[in-house]
Amino acid sequence: MNRRTAGLAIAGSLLSALALSAAPAAAEGTEKCYGISLAGQNDCASAGGNSCAGTSKIDYDKAAWKLVPAGSCATTMVTLPDGSTRAGSLEPIGS
Amino acid sequence: MTSPDSLNSEAGFARALWDARLPRPAGVIGRAGRPAADRFDIHRNNIFASLTAALRARFPVVVRLVGEAFFADMAAIFIRRHPPVSPVIMEYGGAFAAFLKEFDAVGALPYLADIARLEWLRHLAAHGADAVPADLSPLARLAPSAMAELRFTLHPTATALSSAYPVASIWRANAVAPDLQPVLADSAGESVLIVRPHRQVLLLDLPPAGDVLIAALQEGRTLGDAAALAAARDLDFDLTLTLAALFRGGAITGFAPGHSSSN
């Protein structure tokens, strides 16, 4: 392989790698858990309501999520203002 | 006050902390001037308990592989042989992987030392410097002939680990997977990229010799030279997968076109 074909192979790899990397890697061992974060302590976006990390306005917002260790979301219990308890959810919680 | 006497007694105090067979240092007194041997013992116990807790937190998969009780006994031996050299507990445990490699009692788990290396590198990445991953979209607009001349700046927390054992599979099976999948300890070795682009430490699989490419890029070599080194290590070196791991992991914080020799 001469220098030019080697260079083209590298260019091909670089472009393929860029295409493969459209979605950034997520941390392993975590899952998005909805409905358990305190106001201002959510990790990122939810459907409407707020735009990103730390911007949820109410405690235990059903649409705001927090990253938690994988497998622990469904067993994370929170106590709501009305005294009832609710587990976290892997999907936004419907009203 | 650093008279020779107080230095001696400080050294004696420290020695007695590490060796329970030594007499407790003189002059350790409690309320009303009574000797306070119990208090000294409590202090000694606290030192071992806190260092053991630090090791347990830093090497959770090692704990899981050998069991809590075994780990506690092993940690006590390690702590005596390798007392902290820094007052910062965050820096404690760097010698653990090398210790495991020589520790006969874990000889049946030859991969254990590499698991400890992986966990230590994750710990370093967690506490390493922050840096913002670069926007890579301009790369696609470079002339193909310029790409081999690129030099990358890697994220300060980026490290590659290569092991003769399937370290990433073993680590994931024990740290992440909620349903345990068996891993064959004698399956092929693995290489991984460890990096913390944002708040979470990432672990990305690398193809064989991917670690060679990353080390060469970290030395400031061009992409073309680094790829040649990796291909010299492994004929089937997969540049695409290695770059994809670096890009997906946010492990590139900058790039420079380099001085092309072709024009």
CA pseudo-torsion sign B14, B20, B25, B29: positive
Alpha-carbon dihedral of residues A32, A33, A35, A36, nearest 10 degrees?
-120
Q: Over range A70-89, report the average pLDDT.
A: 76
pLDDT score for B173: 84
Helix axes B210-218, B223-233, angle to 10 degrees: 150
- Asked, for residue A74, whether it belongs to a domain, the answer is yes
Phi, psi for residue A24 in degrees, rounded to 5: -65, 155
Q: Is the pLDDT of residue B263 over 50?
A: no
Q: Are residues B101 and B182 in the same domain?
A: no
What type of residue sits at position B103? F
> Domain range holding B72?
1-109
Max distance between CA atoms of chain B, in angstroms, equals: 86
Nearest CA in chain B to A7: B148
pLDDT level of residue B14 (50, 70, 90 thresholds): confident
Smallest Cβ distance to A71: which of B148, B178, B250? B178
Asked if residue B160 and residue B95 are part of one domain, the reply reads no
Under 8 Å between Cβ of A29 and B61: no
The answer to whether position A10 is within a domain reads no
Q: Does B260 touch chain A (CB under 8 A)?
A: no
B183 and B260 co-located in one domain: yes
**Tens of pLDDT along B106-161?**
999 999 999 999 999 999 999 999 999 999 999 999 998 899 999 999 999 999 99
Q: Once rounded to an integer, what is the mean pLDDT over residues A31-48?
A: 66
A25 and B249 in contact by Cβ < 8 A?
A: yes
pLDDT value of position A64: 76
Q: State the average pLDDT over residues B37-53.
A: 89
The pLDDT of residue B177: 59
pLDDT at residue A55, as a whole number: 62
Q: How many structural domains compose chain A?
A: 1
DSSP 8-state assignment for residue B90: G
- Cβ contact A7–B239 (<8 Å): no
B159-163 and B151-154 beta bridge pairing: unpaired
Domains contained in chain B, number: 2
Beta strand pairing call for B190-195 and A77-79: unpaired
Q: How many CB atoms lie within 10 A of CB B146?
A: 16
d(CA B247, CA B249): 5
Residue B123 resides in a domain: no
Q: Which of B109, B139, B159 marks a domain boundary?
A: B109
**pLDDT band at residue B192 under the 50/70/90 scheme:** very high
Q: Which of A24-38, A73-87, B17-31, B35-49 has the weakest average pLDDT? A: A24-38
Report DSSP state, residue B256: E
In the structure, what pLDDT confidence band is assigned to residue B260 with cuts at 50, 70 and 90? very low
Structural domain contains residue A60:
yes
Residue B35 pLDDT level (bands cut at 50, 70, 90): confident
Give yes or no for a contact between B30 and B36, defined as CB atoms under 8 angstroms apart: yes
| Average pLDDT taken over every residue of chain B | 89
Distance from CA of B262 to the nearest CA of A (A): 10
pLDDT at A50 over 60: no
Q: Please state, in angstroms and as integers, the Cα–Cα distance from residue A62 to each residue in A39, A56, A90, B227, following that order.
A: 11, 10, 11, 48
How far is B51 from B71, CA to CA, in rounded Å? Answer: 12
Establish if A3 belongs to a structural domain.
Answer: no
Find chain A residues with C-beta within 8 A of B247's C-beta.
17-18, 20-21
**Residue at B119 is within a domain:** no
**Residue B148 and residue B221 in one domain:** yes
Q: Are residues B71 and B193 in the same domain?
A: no
Question: CA-CA distance, B86 to B102, in Å (whole number)?
Answer: 23
Residue B125 in domain? no
What pLDDT score does B146 carry?
92
B146 and B195 together in one domain: yes
- Residue B160 falls within a domain, yes or no? yes
Alpha carbon distance B187, B166 (integer Å): 6
Measured between alpha carbons, how far is residue B3 from residues B9, B11, B12, B200 in Å?
10, 13, 14, 49
Chain center to CA of B54: 14
Same domain membership, residue B263 and residue B141: yes
User: Which comes out higher in pLDDT, residue B176 or B7?
Assistant: B176
Give the model's pLDDT for residue B2: 45
Confidence (pLDDT) at B3:
45
| Structural domain for A34, as ranges | 26-87
Each residue's pLDDT tens digit, A53-74? 666 667 777 777 777 766 667 7
